[in-house]
Amino acid sequence: MAKVYSELDERLIEFILSQPMFFVATAPCLDASGEGGHVNVSPKGYRDTFAVIDPLTVAYLDLTGSGAETIAHLRQNGRITIMFCSFDRQPKILRIHGTGQVILPGDSRWPELAAHFPGATTSPASLADPTSPANLADPTSPADPTSPVNPANTTDPVSPARPVSPGDHGVDRGNHRAIIVVTADRISDSCGYAIPVMELTTERDQLTRWAERRTPEGLADYRIKHNSYSIDGLPALS
């Protein structure tokens, strides 16, 4: 039976920290009724990029990716749900509903929060100031999901995966673009009986090697081109 919890206890925290991945869901509000826009669900990997700050606060390290839907939606309305699924023999689903904040490397809260994540305690100069040219969208680019600022093809060919060590995800090379902090207002679990039992082979290292091939300036330029707006045209890292 599903159960609602007043806070994250030791058992729930142990479950969270043992999971190899989690899912993040957000949605925009594009009209007065709070509707419109594309709901987004993002899978997140790398176990060392999620932290429990206190019984009602969690955070995860947001790495550079091909889109920035979560950041854009949180900047607009703050609503977020994080879901963990057990893929081993003991079935379980845990959801954390709450309000999220986007913390950028230039924020005064960054050093304290970054201490929870290996390799993220320092940030490159191009990210130190969120108002620097490296963190601003091209003012000539419209907030249009069809414009070049949101190109559809953001894939990057990489070679097959190798085992990844904890903390070895490019975060110390500036691959972190934000820390997402979530204050929970509802914590619940459910059975997860329909979730398959699967075996984790290894974590992928493609994102690490993708970041290693770029300078801090190159990563900043990538964010300008691909992370400035959501697919609905909402500002993300613009």
Find the CATH number of the domain harbouring 8.
Answer: 2.30.110.10
Residues 56 and 135: their CA atoms lie apart, in Å, by: 31
Give the SS3 label for residue 183: strand
**Any domain includes 7:** yes
To which residue do tokens 């398959």 refer? Answer: 196
**Any domain includes 233:** no
Q: Which CA distances in Å does 183 have to 79, 85, 168, 186?
A: 10, 20, 27, 9
Neighbours of 223 (CB within 10 A): 22
Sign of the alpha-carbon torsion through 205, 228, 230, 115: positive
**Any domain includes 151:** yes
Provide the residue range defining the domain that includes 36.
3-226
| Whole-structure pTM value | 0.79
**Any domain includes 232:** no
**Any domain includes 142:** yes
**Any domain includes 235:** no
Q: What is the pLDDT along the chain (238 residues), one digit of tens a residue?
A: 689 999 999 999 999 999 999 999 999 999 888 788 999 999 999 888 999 999 999 999 999 999 999 999 999 999 999 999 999 999 999 999 999 999 999 999 999 999 999 767 544 433 434 434 333 333 223 334 333 333 333 333 333 333 444 444 445 446 889 999 999 999 999 999 999 999 999 989 899 899 989 998 999 999 999 999 999 999 999 8
Residues 238 and 236: their CA atoms lie apart, in Å, by: 6
